Structure 1
């Protein structure tokens, strides 16, 4: 055992871990220390830059609340969330691709009757969302629960505007029958910026990046015996598809929103979800 120097820093820090440290924690922390120290040496980080980094992380934590998670935004905007998602959701060809969960999901969204309208504030252009939940062989899946949520016409989720939007506005859950079909009415989503009044927004501005996300509807699909799918469908033609601030877009998730008859809805979006069997 030696004292820390510029040359020995990784070995010295990792050498302080106790013998009873779990193997997985040892693997993760050893790699983190190694990469972090290599990064500092590579850029020759100055003390002033180190202080900026500490201040940035401090302010990121301070702005977090029950309705806002700035660290998730940081992870999202650095592409970390999508990389973790990709590693943890490898699936066979044909299965629905996943994307970021995002910070605005709310547990306990009410289960509604098939075809119900989840837009409670009366804003926005009504869209009929419909399709099927299938297995890899194309068979319908019964009792799949489809949890959905989106922003409103103004680009805000209900949790961002408590007292302005009704609770569970543009949220709901729907359960498939034997035919695997789902249908509900919401609004045609709109593009919106992620919250950019905090440290992450300042980081994006400094990097010459915008904070906008392309229009999308969130879906979380679960069914007994199948792997959960967390994903979005994105509106084709949106100007931010190729520059999504959180890197969440995948080609297979881009959907055409087609004009409808205008009586019950102005648009319709059709999409089938294909689930993989749960791993034993």
Structure 2
């Protein structure tokens, strides 16, 4: 039977309607809405592409492999969401643009809840290898008011592109949290970020390979900033001039407003805090953070 006849179109549409109506007894209205939309879009995809049974079997096998490789240290489904841009699209929807508020980007899989606290001007590297960098800035709201005691979580990879959770032991490095001072200022020593590949030894890596996409992420440092009555911000800063910004970040996380200049300082040049680095060059960058109000749609506020 041709697949574009009125009869065939009616058969396909009837099935979609029956599946959607099967959720009408769902007590939670939001869940009912989500399930109905999921069925509508999934069925539309099947109809539009004329998906074959063999192709659907391959898709099931792929998703099974994604589940098989997922464990308590690796979440391949998040990785799949990232490389398909679904993570960034969800962030775009959940963190609408608000005046001059700093833009959000992907959370990533390497955050830890129990990072150590450091004081203003402290060192978050904790022995991680790389080129030292001084980070500084202010925390304000969208009206320009300084935000004291904002909690700033920071995490990043080492010079080999590895996060501490990838070391294979219990070391914690390249991460900490600190609080802005009474004037909304913060500063710390970290590492100049480098590009690194997302885990590419699983089914998502195979997907990138067959589609000729790079697994590399643009060089970045993660920030999560929270304060009472303000929307919690999850974001990165990226390195101006990093070639990977031009060739493409594998999870689509780069935003122009988050690209920052990292200034190179010669060995022996005085540091902002008087730290003696000896004959080691170092870098510095500034990241002034603006938090949106907590009542802006979709975001998360610290209570």
TM-score by length of 1: 0.94
Q: Write the distance in 1 (CA, Å) between the matches of 2:206 and 2:114.
A: 33
Structure of greater Rg = 2
Counterparts of 1:124-203 in structure 2, within 5 Å, are 124-163=130-169, 167-203=171-207
| C-alpha contact 2:155 2:175 (8 A) present in aligned 1 | yes
Unaligned runs of 5+ in 1: none
Give the deviation of 1:121 after TM superposition. Answer: 2.7
Counterparts of 1:71-86 in structure 2, within 5 Å, are 71-86=77-92
Unaligned runs of 5+ in 2: 1-9, 269-276, 297-303
Which residue is equivalent to 1:94? 100
Give the deviation of 1:209 after TM superposition. Answer: 0.7
Q: Write the distance in 1 (CA, Å) between the matches of 2:26 and 2:239.
A: 51
Q: Write the distance in 1 (CA, Å) between the matches of 2:60 and 2:91.
A: 27
Counterparts of 1:1-280 in structure 2, within 5 Å, are 5-163=11-169, 167-242=171-246, 243-263=248-268, 264=277, 266-279=282-295
> Does the C-alpha gap of structure 1 residues 276 and 189 become closer, same or farther in structure 2, counting only changes over 3 Å?
same
**What SS does the aligned partner of 2:236 have?**
strand
Q: Write the distance in 1 (CA, Å) between the matches of 2:289 and 2:26.
A: 44
Give the deviation of 1:131 after TM superposition. Answer: 0.7
| C-alpha contact 2:99 2:142 (8 A) present in aligned 1 | no
**What SS does the aligned partner of 1:124 have?**
coil
**What SS does the aligned partner of 1:25 have?**
helix
Give the deviation of 1:262 after TM superposition. Answer: 3.2
| C-alpha contact 2:199 2:205 (8 A) present in aligned 1 | yes
Q: How many residues align?
A: 275
Deviates more, 1:73-82 or 1:6-15: 6-15
> Does the C-alpha gap of structure 1 residues 250 and 127 become closer, same or farther in structure 2, counting only changes over 3 Å?
same
Deviates more, 1:260-269 or 1:146-155: 260-269
**1:16-51 per-position Cα deviation (integer Å, ceiling 9, x unaligned):** 225243211111111110111111111111111111
